[in-house]
Amino acid sequence: MKHKFKYIHELKDWQNFTFDYVRILPVLAKVRHKQGELLGKMASVGFDLQTQNSLHNLTLDVIKSSEIEGEFLNAEQVRSSVARKLGLDIAGLVASDRNVDGIVEMMLDATQQFKKPLSKERLFGWHAAIFPAGRSGINKIAVGKWRKDETGPMQVISGALGKEKVHFQAPDANLLDIEMKKFIKWYNTKEESDQLIKAAMAHLWFVTIHPFDDGNGRIARALTDMQLARADGLNQRFYSMSNQIRVERKVYYEMLELTQKGTQNITEWIHWFLNCLFRAITNSEIQAKDIFSKAKFWEHNKTTLFNQRQIKMLNKWFDGLDGKLSSSKWAKMNKCSQDTALRDIQDLLEKGILIKEEGGGRSTSYLVKD
């Protein structure tokens, strides 16, 4: 052992985690209350709005879980893939790449089939789905099987070549069958004091084993979403944990490293996880207002005629357009002429959809009328 300390998985019976329930209870109660508020609000709106909100959060989960690993997916492709696989009739769907479809399939299997037991074969299927070409970047990896460590121990490393810093070293490959059998059995049968605490423990446990050559973080977050769906008792997703983890990415990795170099007492990890979940639910309430505004806008204007450019730009507006809406931005985003952009905008002004912001001339910008 080259390091002077023990990683958590090197401790005897390391999976026997402990935590201070007295310290956890206040934040757990806070999260449960916020969760109840959100689910109550969702129950009070129509099925269409629930579906729109769920589509939004499932899309976020896929995009942000990949971003945490430095992979940036096309948002329109992800949304279209999710909608198609859920059988939703959504306007403006685009074709999606094979790798996008694979990650979406994994996330939907986790969240829509959350009652199904976890198995080695199911995990292998998820892994194969997110690496359809059998490669991670340019590197060929073992797909749909546990890692072999043929080129050395599995390590999480950062830093330039020659100045690498090892943040974590996973259990040896020859231990993976035993380790994963214990994890899968616990995930399927062991009832913890609360389902949300179990979600925190499952995330840490799986990512500590690190059973695959690549994709461990994404699969850990899919398992977390699966457990959160069990906690909610719903296959619709009204908040995105991966979106919040992406916001808190630096602290997320710091908490994992600290815990993996610690003891079996994982109180601080659970405390951080639950607070992160609280912030995820809180932020989702803000996003839900925007989604509802968008849905109400299209319902109110369902008989109004729009061309495809106008539909695209209005959707962009409600989804959070970067900067101000101007004719030059309209032309650039639609790859059309300035004259065409001005005609589109003038048409929306006459229909009472857009209004001019204060200012004029070359600086003219527009708002969607409330």
Q: DSSP per residue over 303-330, as a string?
A: TS---HHHHHHHHHHHHH-SS-B-HHHH
Residue 181 has pLDDT above 70, yes or no: yes
CB neighbour burial string for 187-204, b if at least 16 within 10 angstroms, e if fewer = beeeebebbbbbbbbbbb
Cα–Cα dist 180/223, whole Å: 13
pLDDT tens for 9-42 read: 999 999 999 999 999 999 999 999 999 999 888 8
pLDDT tens for 242-273 read: 999 999 999 999 999 999 999 999 999 999 99
Given phi > 0 = left and psi -120 to 50 = alpha, else beta, which region is 320?
A: left
- What DSSP element (H or E) covers 156? strand 155-158
> What is the CB neighbour count within 10 angstroms for residue 7?
17
Give 168-172's long-range contacts (Cβ < 8 A, gap of 24+): 168/7, 168/210, 168/256, 168/257, 168/260, 168/261, 169/3, 169/7, 170/9, 170/208, 170/209, 170/210, 171/9, 171/208, 171/209, 171/210
- For the record, the structure tokens of 234 come out as 């719903």
Q: What local confidence, expressed as pLDDT, does residue 4 receive?
A: 66
Segment 77-104 shows an average pLDDT of: 92
Cα–Cα dist 281/283, whole Å: 6
pLDDT band at 296 (very low <50, low <70, confident <90, very high): confident
CB 357 within 8 A of CB 367: yes
Percent of the chain scoring above 70 in pLDDT: 98
Query: Which of 90-99, 203-212, 245-254 is predicted with the least confidence, judged by mean pLDDT?
Result: 90-99
- For the record, the structure tokens of 19 come out as 């935590």
Give the residue among 152, 171, 253, 259 at the shortest CA–CA distance from 209. Answer: 171
Is 264 buried (19+), middle (13-18) or exposed (0-12) by CB count in 10 A? Answer: middle
pLDDT tens for 310-335 read: 998 998 888 778 888 999 999 999 99
- For the record, the structure tokens of 42 come out as 């969702």
DSSP state of 356: E
DSSP, collapsed to helix, strand or coil, labels residue 167 as strand
- How are beta strands 165-169 and 155-158 bridged, if at all? antiparallel
Is 218 buried (19+), middle (13-18) or exposed (0-12) by CB count in 10 A? Answer: buried
Cα–Cα dist 60/58, whole Å: 5
Cα–Cα dist 273/201, whole Å: 9
pLDDT band at 359 (very low <50, low <70, confident <90, very high): low
Our CA angle for 300, 306, 310, nearest 5°, is: 105
Residue 2 has pLDDT above 60, yes or no: no
Residue 156 has pLDDT above 80, yes or no: yes
Which residues have a Cβ under 8 Å from the Cβ of 152 and sit 6 or more positions away?
none
pLDDT tens for 214-249 read: 999 999 999 999 999 999 999 999 999 999 999 999
Average pLDDT, whole number, for the chain? 91
Cα–Cα dist 283/162, whole Å: 41
DSSP state of 361: G
Phi, psi dihedral angles at 142 (to 5 degrees): -75, 120
pTM of the model: 0.82
Domains and CATH numbers, the chain: 8-294 (1.10.3290.10), 312-368 (1.10.10.10)
Cα–Cα dist 342/20, whole Å: 62
- For the record, the structure tokens of 69 come out as 């690993």
- For the record, the structure tokens of 218 come out as 């994404």
DSSP state of 265: B
Name 168's bridge partners. Answer: 156
Cα–Cα dist 269/271, whole Å: 5
